[in-house]
Amino acid sequence: MFSKSELRRQLRRARQQIPRETRQRAELATSRALKPLIKRGKKIAVYAPIGSEMRLDHFIRTAQKRGAHIYLPYITPKNLRLWFTPIDGKLERTRGAGSLNIPQYSGKKIRAHHLNVMILPVVGVDKRAYRLGQGGGFYDTTLAANYSVLQPRKVAVGFACQLVDELPSETHDCQVDDFACELGILSFKK
């Protein structure tokens, strides 16, 4: 089995090679597949895409129109545990965080256990529900901190080419509940 860093390189390369029109169709199909998660008043965390990550603009607009509250991750200095800030129409970008230059937005912050759904970006996901992220550890740390309290539904989102049979996993790696891509939603719930 390949190392996590080698798998990240391979899976990023596959994602980057998706032609623009195919990418746009996949993003729209994935947004449509995610629509059943939208309920009025529900709190849904999404992500600001970096690099070739899947864009969820259509899903975000639809969720807002249907009365869901949308949140983006916020990273505090020297802490891996995420906060989530609401999208209230106008976003004020405050800075990029860490070596990944993750966009940060200002606003009242909440912790993950107050969310109903958390949509997570992936570099890869396997059929055992393990997610391979960018390598910063933000989502795993956040979910591990909430292990003993109510967890939001964790939905990994990416392109079908990012689903693999098995990824290397460690004790700190958290599993997701579902994987959404252009082919639909694969549920891992038992």
Chain center to CA of 136 = 13
89 is in an annotated binding site: no
**The whole model's pTM is what?**
0.88
- Given a contact cutoff of 8 angstroms between Cβ atoms, the answer to whether 120 and 47 are in contact is yes
32 is in an annotated binding site: no
53 is in an annotated binding site: yes
Give the pLDDT score at 179. 98
134 is in an annotated binding site: yes
Could you tell me the residue ranges of all domains in the chain? 4-187
133 is in an annotated binding site: yes
137 is in an annotated binding site: yes
Give the pLDDT score at 103. 61
67 is in an annotated binding site: no
pLDDT tens column, 99-152: 555 565 667 889 999 999 999 999 999 999 999 988 777 888 887 776 556 789
Regions in the chain scoring below 50 on pLDDT: 90-93, 97
Give the pLDDT score at 87. 84
131 is in an annotated binding site: yes
11 is in an annotated binding site: no
139 is in an annotated binding site: yes
135 is in an annotated binding site: yes
Place of tokens 């994935």: 30
Q: Which CATH architecture has domain 4-187?
A: 3-Layer(aba) Sandwich (3.40)
Query: In what helix (H) or strand (E) does residue 75 lie, and over which residues does it extend?
Result: strand 69-75
Give the pLDDT score at 47. 92
- Given a contact cutoff of 8 angstroms between Cβ atoms, the answer to whether 49 and 73 are in contact is no
Give the pLDDT score at 90. 46
Give the pLDDT score at 77. 72
